[in-house]
Amino acid sequence: MLHNITVGLLVAAFVGTGMFNAIGTPAAQDDFARWGYPRWWCRITGGLEIVAAALIAFPATRSAGIALGIMIIIAALVTVLRQREFSHVAALGIFTAFLVIAATRS
């Protein structure tokens, strides 16, 4: 039961952040530019987050989705640590915990 709840929360979290990034609000574009990426890179990231959510949602593709999610979170962690924006680390830690829980039963 905890696994199913975790998977559901993980899918919702990736969809939410993916939509925010894919829409490419000025705030998201400003963040990516500040971190040294092209302003449009938020849309690529958002698309990858939505793909990860879709893959995680279905048991047959969950492992691939978890692998993609892990790559996304590693890239995000490297970025925020390199930029010393530690306020993002807690949210990334939650994503990491959910990915670990989801991976243990996939």
What is the 3-state secondary structure of 24-84?
CCHHHHHHHHHCCCCCCHHHHHHHHHHHHHHHHHCHHHHHHHHHHHHHHHHHHHHHHHHCC
pLDDT digits (tens, 9 = 90+) for 43-98: 999 999 999 999 999 999 999 999 999 999 999 999 999 999 888 889 899 889 98
Give me the pLDDT at residue 95, please. 87
Is the entire prediction scored with pTM above 0.85?
yes
